[in-house]
Amino acid sequence: MAITKDTLIGDLLKEKPEAAEVLFQYGMGCIGCPSSQMESLAEAAQVHGIDLDELMKAINEN
């Protein structure tokens, strides 16, 4: 599975559970909330004021 800005958080965590640590490091503490499961990485980054490119790099390096 290719991880993109449009990847849903729920799908990301199913495919790459270790990404949870990266999301927590970026302040996304509610990744287990039902609504976050259907949110894309781009949407989550925007809501949390996180640089999407930086987040994508960290996820893909992990």
Whether the full predicted model's pTM is greater than 0.75, yes or no, is: yes
Q: What is the dihedral of CA 34, 37, 42, 45, to 10 degrees?
A: 50
CATH number of the domain that 16 lies in?
A: 1.10.3910.10
| 42 within 8 A of 6, measured Cβ to Cβ | yes
Q: Indicate whether 1 belongs to any domain.
A: no
**3-60 pLDDT, tens digit each:** 999 999 999 999 999 999 999 999 887 777 777 778 999 999 998 899 999 999 999 9
Report if residue 3 sits inside a domain. Answer: no
Domain that holds residue 24: 9-61
**Is 38 among the domain residues?**
yes
2 lies in some domain: no
